[in-house]
Structure 1
């Protein structure tokens, strides 16, 4: 049996993207319109849910039909899917101040000074958590979600590689417990919920 393609997910991805897009638009002052403009967080969460489902399905399908998971092939597919656009946006973020200066256009320097190694190694979300602020450079501010995705791919693939299919329910229950405890701890210490542990249940 060939692997399924979930066609309805394309529409779900669009609506999730639309909510995230609306979040970044200026508020109108109309409570009905602004309700949707501030609902982008739901869209981001839904992206994580879709990703979690699809990645788990892909890994379990391979484990069931081939009796093992090829981590090399899995990571190669993820790299080809995410890295080109990710590093293009990183390059744009670091070049944008020079471009804006050359064009004599004003821009904000609010936030911490970005560190290239942190950015290219998917550590921006942890830097944001430690500093409790955003990086200086608009595109970098939204990279935290891609960092979580990348960390999830690594953690989940390795877990499912070593753990038997029968123990998947234990992983799911553990993920729910870990995520809820993490969010409680982060809230107590005033830390943003933008890492893999606080999103593991999604």
Structure 2
């Protein structure tokens, strides 16, 4: 598989914009001079950067699935899911754990369970955000994509003989 280093630049740029946007939101919420309240200043939108992250993830996951198919003749779902789990879950659960221990929030059981089971975006939609680390909603979206997309990808390939993918057990 070819390493696509240009995507690292896009991800770094998107991450920087998201951080700046979060800082400006915090400044606005605390009555500090910020970019948001300055109508003459235009700065990049953090929401668009999150969308860019999603697009890059979709591209990379599809690229990985196609590369695995070409190399091995099929897709090993178990290995695919283990790679995603080992890449994302340790940091995700560390953020949840530390933010809960350090700040000791009074969260509802639903908020805790939805966040623990990789549904923080559902908690967000229900106004049950993990306030200490509100950005985890996007990690939930990514994780759910990682669960669904390979299955959908394989289903499409099985119903479209032109693609010809196989599942490896």
* Interval containing the TM-score (normalised by the shorter chain): 0.7 to 0.9
Output aligned runs, 1:88-127, within 5 Å. Answer: 88-98=94-104, 113=108, 115-127=111-123
**1:136/1:87 CA distance change after superposition, 3 Å:** closer
Residue 165 (structure 1) shift: 7.8
TM-score for both structures, normalised by structure 2: 0.78
Check conservation: 2:120, 2:136, Cα contact below 8 A: yes
Aligned equivalents of 1:30 and 1:167: distance in 2?
Answer: 52
Query: What secondary structure sits across from 1:9 in the alignment?
Result: helix
**1:167/1:145 CA distance change after superposition, 3 Å:** farther
**1:32/1:80 CA distance change after superposition, 3 Å:** farther
Partner of 1:57: 63
Aligned equivalents of 1:95 and 1:16: distance in 2?
Answer: 29
Runs ≥4 in structure 1, deviation > 6 angstroms?
A: none
Output aligned runs, 1:122-201, within 5 Å. Answer: 122-129=118-125, 131=126, 133-135=127-129, 137-139=131-133, 141-164=134-157, 167=160
1:143-201 deviation per Cα after TM superposition (whole angstroms, max 9, x unaligned)? 11000000000101112233328849xxxxxxxxxxxxxxxxxxxxxxxxxxxxxxxxx
TM-score for both structures, normalised by structure 1: 0.67
Corresponding pairs, count: 151
Aligned equivalents of 1:13 and 1:36: distance in 2?
Answer: 17
Question: Which residues of structure 1 form unaligned runs of 5+?
Answer: 99-107, 169-202
Aligned equivalents of 2:108 and 2:39: distance in 1?
Answer: 36
Aligned equivalents of 2:136 and 2:144: distance in 1?
Answer: 12
Name whichever of 42-51 and 152-161 sits farther off. Answer: 152-161
Question: Which residues of structure 2 form unaligned runs of 5+?
Answer: 28-33, 162-169
Q: CA RMSD for the aligned pairs?
A: 2.5
